[in-house]
Amino acid sequence: MRIVGDHLAKVAEKSGDVAQFDPFGRSAFNRYYYSAFLAVRAALRKIDNKWASPSHKAVPEVLKGDVLTRLKHQIRKSQSNGQITESEGMRLFHAAQTAASELSNLLSSARETRRVADYEPEQLVQKSGSVITLGECSLDTAKAWERRVETQTKTILRVYGDLGLI
């Protein structure tokens, strides 16, 4: 998905004509959103198959809800049987909680940008020098979504691993 986004972004960046950079730019935003969404979905699938096909709207809630609830439960269990210390448990939970919260924010705002790209053609992509934006989101920010998501999902998977859950 990201390489398609990169290609579309390149076409948009090269063009000075709004009739060109607007459709290519908005399609690039769309592809970048999907690459981020699929990266999160792949991580959720590693934890539990039942989270393998969540709806776009549900993912931010699953991240902040079920994913953390399961961790909290296991941390309590591991603390009570002496497998991890109190402070280890706190550190693990905090690491996962921050990552989940950041991921959730990123996905919901990226989804909104994707919605504008797909359904609000009257809101044009703007180009100022080499900077392309749609609403408040720049194409450079969108390009980094997938990498950012991969970094933060790694943290959640690591915490699950440290607790013996995966």
Partner 1 sequence: METSDSSDFTKLHNFLREHGVDFVSDVKISHSAEIHFALFVSADHVSAKSGKGVTSHRQMKLLQQAAKAETGLVVEWIVTPGQEAAAMEASIQQLIEVNHPGVVQAVYISSPKITPISVWVETKTTLDSRLQSLLKALIKQFLDLYGIADPLLMFGDSVNLPSNPTIMRKLKIHGPLTPEQFVEVLVSARLVIPNLRWLQTRLDAFRKQGFVIRSPEGKYSLTEPGLDLVPFGKNRSSSDVERALALGRRKW
Strand segments (E) across 3-161: 126-128, 131-134, 137-138
Q: Determine the interface stretch with partner 1 among 4-12, 20-28, 122-130, 155-163 (rule: CB under 8 A).
A: 155-163
125 or 142, CB closer to partner 1?
Answer: 142
> Residue 130, interface with partner 1 (CB under 8 A)?
no
Per CB under 8 A, the list member of 1, 38, 141, 143 interacting with partner 1 is: 141
Q: How far is the CB of 163 from partner 1 (least distance, A)?
A: 5
Residue 125, phi then psi, degrees to nearest 5: -70, 135
Cα angle vertex 122, ends 117, 126, to 5°?
65
Cα angle vertex 117, ends 9, 100, to 5°?
90
Q: How far is the CB of 39 from partner 1 (least distance, A)?
A: 14
Strand segments (E) across 96-164: 126-128, 131-134, 137-138
CB neighbour list of residue 71: distance below 8 Å, 6 or more residues apart: 92, 93, 96, 159, 160, 163, 165
Cβ(145)–Cβ(138) under 8 Å? no
Q: How far is the CB of 164 from partner 1 (least distance, A)?
A: 3
d(CA 124, CA 33): 18
> Residue 78, interface with partner 1 (CB under 8 A)?
yes
> Residue 58, interface with partner 1 (CB under 8 A)?
no
> Residue 162, interface with partner 1 (CB under 8 A)?
yes
> Residue 155, interface with partner 1 (CB under 8 A)?
yes
Contacts with partner 1 by CB under 8 A lie at: 46-50, 57, 74, 77-78, 81-84, 88, 91, 94-95, 98-99, 101-102, 105-106, 108-109, 112, 115, 119, 136-137, 141, 144, 147-148, 151-152, 154-155, 158, 161-166
